[in-house]
A and B are shown apart, each in its own frame.
Chain A
Amino acid sequence: MSKLQNAIVGGVRAALGYVPDGWLPGGTPDPLIDKRVALGTQQSRVDGPEKVRGAARFAAEVPMEGLLYAACVHSTIARGRIAGFDLAAAEAASGVVLVMTHRNAPKMNMPPAIGMTNLKAAGNNILPVMQDPEIRWNGQTVAVVLAETQEQADHAASLVLVRYEAAVARTRFDEAKADARTPDSLMIERNRLKRGNVKAASQAAAGRVDAIYRTPQHNHNPIEPNAATIAWEGERLVVHDATQMLNGTAGSLAKVFGLKESQVYVSSPFVGGGFGGKALWDHQILGAAAAKLAGRPVRIALSRASMHRLIGGRTQTEQRVALSADVDGKLTGLLHHGYSIKSPHGACDEAFTLSGRSLYASESFDIVQHQLDLDVLANTFMRGPGEAVGTFAIECAMDELAHELGIDPVEFRRRNVAHCNPVSGAPHSQSDLMLAYDQGAERFGWHRRAVRPRSRREGEWLIGMGCATGTFPYVRMPGTSVQIRVDCDGRATVSSAAHEMGMGTATVQRQHAADRLGLPLDSVTVRIGDTSLPFSSFAGGSSQTASLGAAINAASAKLASELLRLAGNDTSLAGLKASDIEFADGGLRKIDDPARHESFASILRRAARSDISVMGESGAPLEVLKFSMHSTSAIFCKLRVSDVTGEIRLDRLVGSFDCGRILNPKTAASQFRGGMIMGIGMALNEETLVDERNGRIMSASFADYHVPVHLDVPQIDVLWTDIPDPRTPMGARGIGEIGITGVAAAIANAVFNATGMRVRDLPLTPDKLLNNRPAS
């Protein structure tokens, strides 16, 4: 991102400083904050029964007449050219219809890159797809085999012989540092931040820490591997996809194949986990190209191994954090530098230095991150992008400094928590990290923590407790739209091309629409999941609930005006303006005068209408430029470390969240808990093994890429402050990402408390704890 972007964002921020709050989105608090009926109540998922019965149909299950099955052949070198193929055996194999390579693949354009400004783009790995003999990463698809069954395709793929002319590849993280680039901006923030004098602060400090923290590459491993079932209907492209970016995928495929957007239809009613990995990658493009070549529909369901080679993950990072504090335990300097991989063909920043700019009030800051260019598959967003790994570094350093100063880690955060944005000075829309800490500490029993590390033991097991802060920014996407249709029975249908990856999108927005329109829950239907529905942005950045919320709110305002107009003069509502009325009891009524009410059904009947439809859209999210809008959490962990083997066993996790109002405790608790379990994986298990000799992923299976198993997951308590954010729809902020943040640090800090040993290199496998004697 560019200097120009910095100038624009900076200019808008400055201008908004002079705009009265009331003029902005969220200027007046959403009335639903106080008037909720269904919102805030425990509701089961509307799609739960279908999923439990196996009736919910996922992308790789859509039946089609004459369907062909695809298998991918992946390159085994990182850089070079394809010198030749031997395809005879594969082409002759039973059931094989064709083998597609760069020699016969249709001409295709490069996919447009996912970004903040183009919601019709979902490309992650911006390279030509099977258009030339160039190899650009180890694992690139060099051939696609189509056959009558998946087994036949898989077998034939193993018969494809590829000859390569290998070139020198850049595959080593440490070597690439010499040529690191320093981008001007990260997401919508300036990359470089220098405020005050961190060096002087360090020299004058009463306590300081300065350490390097490392996190490995992570790969996406949702339970449902990426998959698409694809057909060409004449010049129309139909894609049943597993995606969290319906319109981005449709728009991207239109660009790739030179089609009008209206010629591409993408459907994805259910997605078996997204986490950032379900966007546009090569497989949808290859599947559509192969379907075109074969003249038959194609299913391309990636194997777990193909997923690791074709779907990007979270980049490796190396982060230096240096903190300084004065005698009172107040931060005087915060330095956060580091490296991550982002090749020119990648689109996604791993903005790990953002969390350190919003959490704590330091007198001085020195923040910048650098990006490395390697011959690897592009990275993408993965749950809590930036913050998941950024909080590991910052929050471990905070724990180290608290120990150095002899201050309780919770108290140390209390002394430093920012009461407005420490960089911009912008006021918080709502933030109460310390309430989350206090509630979490009480639930957890933090007072039982031994202050001195390595002082509690049960047999061979050293017991420890740790805590850390989690955080994720509030995001609301512009452009998300919904249609609300009310029929003459007074029932409402809310439609949008939104996404359900298991979070409960339809469930929660049904609660929202019911409260917004004054209807009982069972009078509202929510339709999501395909591009025939009104345009929606992606389900990412924990933004979808707020974006849909704003759109439903906007549509409901239009609905009220339209209904008022339809109602005419022969009604108790006659003469009222839109600002005089509210939704209630399945219709409209005058605010403060329940007697002046008419139902939707009555208004429509009198107007001889079968139904009424209105559209609404989420407008520009100017509130995030005026206010500092972040969710925060306090994570607590109790664990034991074997003094014999270095094995870690978690005994307990508590997550205490400050995320605005919680809309559905059942789905929210599940989201938080799932995020925390992913945080356990990050702390203890997950690591993509990339062989630096050739850039090949050596952990492309569930046997080698460890995620937590049940026995790794202890009792997890989840609680929340439930304080409404007056600047957001429904008073809520997104909760999808924040669960993972802070968890790895809380666990690493508990390991220190147990053993006296700091491990700053994830994952915390037994070998790193084996000599767990404190350095001193």
Chain B
Amino acid sequence: MTPFDYRRAADQADALSRAATGHARYLGGGTNLVDLMRQNIEAPAALVDVSRLRDAIEERAGGGLLIGAAVRNSALAAHPVVRTHYPMLSRALLSGASAQIRNMATVGGNILQRTRCAYFYDAAGSRCNKREAGTGCDAMDGFNRYHAIFGGSEHCVATHPSDMCVALAALDATVHLAGRDGERRVPLLDLHRLPGENPQVETVLRAGELITAIEIAPSAAAANSRYRKVRDRSSYAFALVSVAAGLEVVGGRIDDVRIALGGVAAKPWRAARAEQVLRGQAPTRENFLRAADAEVAGAKALSGNAFKIELAKRTMAAVLGELAGAGV
């Protein structure tokens, strides 16, 4: 770890001004950033601690939530409105990391966590375009069992590791940002970038911009939702594939459906093709499989992760089946 300066931000304006130098990073719970610093992957000159800034969960009229970026993962998962009206979000949070880490990790930090690709982490001994642009990608022909089947490029096939973001993607969450030039809002689905030519640029955040809150809106599909994470051990492992889905059936037809996949791309992957196939259709197993097939038609396997295509398909169909109820 490279020595660094540390300041706790007094308020949002203080945070923004301290981060203006460009060599600073915002610190949330530190459960990923500090690891990356210990591994010599990140070496910011300064950390601006924003973990005590906005840590409230505000209930909006109509059941929406405005979630401060400094809300701890465990607090969000336990919130009664989240548990009742957004079960997939609570389940996603609880399927991530360990109790100790969830107690530390913030919502803002969770969104900005970086890939767990082993080559990305091996600063001393491996090539990685995300860590050091233009050096090459050792995962492409190496261990890529955990890597992307959607949206990868010849430069990078890393996946985004968050569980929470998968649920937020299905919920059409909005991210509130603050920067030197004022505040703006970005849909979570547009926040993370696919690797393309520049895998080192992971989000659309501008220099010094701070995530201040996440906003989610209620829906019948959000209330009837689930998160299922498939992994190599029962707990404390990143997803091979995960599925966040919500379903609303009216009069025997699918009125609203939200599906997002985790562990398959550099961003939480909204299964738009599958949703399109399902809207207005009957909630049958055949339709769920057809929709899942439509989604994975766009998938591309690497040497070690072809199984993910079948796994994503089956998990999607299974979760939708559970949401539709018995007999499907």
Contact = CB atoms under 8 A, between A and B. Distances in A.
Interface of A: 74, 76, 94, 138, 151, 154-155, 158, 460, 644-647, 649, 684-685, 689, 691, 693-694, 696, 698-699, 701, 703-704, 706, 708-712, 765-767, 770-771
A689 B236 CA distance: 18
Given A703-B116, A706-B232, A709-B233, A138 B125 contact: yes
A766 B232 contact: yes
B40 A644 contact: no
A765 B3 contact: no
B3 A94 contact: yes
A711 B125 contact: no
Contacts of A699: 118
Interface stretch (B70-78, B79-87, B184-192, B310-318): B310-318
A68 B3 CA distance: 19
B2 A155 contact: yes
13 contacts: A138-B125, A158-B2, A645-B311, A646-B311, A685-B233, A698-B126, A704-B116, A708-B233, A709-B235, A712-B234, A765-B232, A767-B145, A771-B310
B141 A770 contact: no
Contact of B141 (A644, A693, A708, A709): A693
User: Max chain A CB contacts within 10 Å: which of B119, B231, B232?
Assistant: B232
Given A155-B1, A155-B3, A158-B2, A706 B122 contact: no
B1 to A, nearest CB: 6
Contacts of B1: 151, 154-155
A691 B143 contact: yes
Given A94-B3, A158-B40, A689-B118, A770 B236 contact: no
B94 interface: no
Given A151-B1, A698-B143, A770-B310, A645 B230 contact: yes
Interface in B1-28: 1-3
B124 A645 contact: no
A701 B125 contact: no
B230 A696 contact: no
A696 B3 contact: no
A244 to B, nearest CB: 28
B232 A696 contact: no
B116 to A, nearest CB: 6
A685 B232 CA distance: 7
Contacts of B118: 689, 698-699, 704
A316 to B, nearest CB: 15
Contacts of A698: 118-119, 122, 126, 142-143
B169 to A, nearest CB: 21
Interface of B: prevailing SS? loop
A767 B311 contact: yes
Given A698-B142, A708-B233, A709-B233, A644 B307 contact: no
User: Max chain A CB contacts within 10 Å: which of B2, B119, B125?
Assistant: B125
A711 B236 CA distance: 9
Given A698-B118, A767-B240, A706 B233 contact: yes
User: Max chain A CB contacts within 10 Å: which of B141, B231, B234?
Assistant: B234
Given A691-B142, A699-B118, A711 B310 contact: no
Interface in B236-256: 236-237, 240
Contacts of A460: 318
Closest 6 CB pairs of A and B: A711-B234, A76-B125, A767-B307, A698-B118, A711-B235, A645-B230
A644 B125 CA distance: 38
Nearest to A765: B232
A151 B311 CA distance: 43
Contacts of B240: 766-767
A644 B315 contact: yes
A645 B242 CA distance: 11
Given A94-B3, A706-B237, A765-B232, 15 more contacts: A76-B124, A76-B125, A155-B3, A644-B314, A644-B318, A685-B233, A691-B142, A696-B125, A696-B126, A698-B126, A701-B121, A712-B234, A712-B235, A766-B232, A770-B314
Interface in B180-225: none
Nearest to A702: B236
Contacts of B314: 644-645, 770
Interface residues of B, number: 34
Contacts of B230: 645, 647, 766
B124 A74 contact: yes
Contacts of B141: 693
Contacts of B311: 645-646, 766-767, 770
Contacts of A74: 124-125
Contacts of A706: 232-233, 237
User: Max chain B CB contacts within 10 Å: which of A74, A698, A771?
Assistant: A698
Nearest to B234: A711
Contacts of B233: 684-685, 706, 708-709, 711-712
Contacts of A158: 2, 40, 123-124
B299 to A, nearest CB: 15
A347 B94 CA distance: 46
B143 A689 contact: yes
A757 B117 CA distance: 31
A696 B121 CA distance: 13
Contacts of A712: 233-235
A161 to B, nearest CB: 11
Contacts of B3: 94, 155
B110 to A, nearest CB: 16
Nearest to B319: A644
A649 B234 contact: yes
Nearest to B35: A703
A703 B1 CA distance: 19
A460 B315 CA distance: 11
A285 to B, nearest CB: 22
A94 B2 CA distance: 11
A743 to B, nearest CB: 16
Given A151-B1, A155-B2, A766-B311, A709 B318 contact: no
A155 B3 CA distance: 8
A158 B122 CA distance: 12
Nearest to A708: B233
A178 B123 CA distance: 34
B5 to A, nearest CB: 14
Interface in B90-148: 116, 118-119, 121-126, 138, 141-143, 145
A632 B125 CA distance: 44
Contacts of A645: 230, 311, 314-315, 318
A288 B310 CA distance: 54
Contacts of A684: 233
Contacts of B121: 701
Contacts of B237: 706
B315 to A, nearest CB: 6
B310 to A, nearest CB: 6
A611 B235 CA distance: 57
Nearest to B145: A767
A699 B125 CA distance: 13
A211 to B, nearest CB: 22
Given A138-B125, A155-B1, A709 B236 contact: yes
Nearest to B1: A155
B310 A696 contact: no
Contacts of B119: 698
A710 B235 contact: yes
Contacts of A94: 3
A649 B231 CA distance: 12
A704 B39 CA distance: 14
A704 B116 CA distance: 9
A158 B124 CA distance: 8
A157 to B, nearest CB: 9
B235 A696 contact: no
Nearest to A767: B307
A566 B327 CA distance: 88
A694 B122 CA distance: 13
B38 to A, nearest CB: 8
A701 B310 CA distance: 29
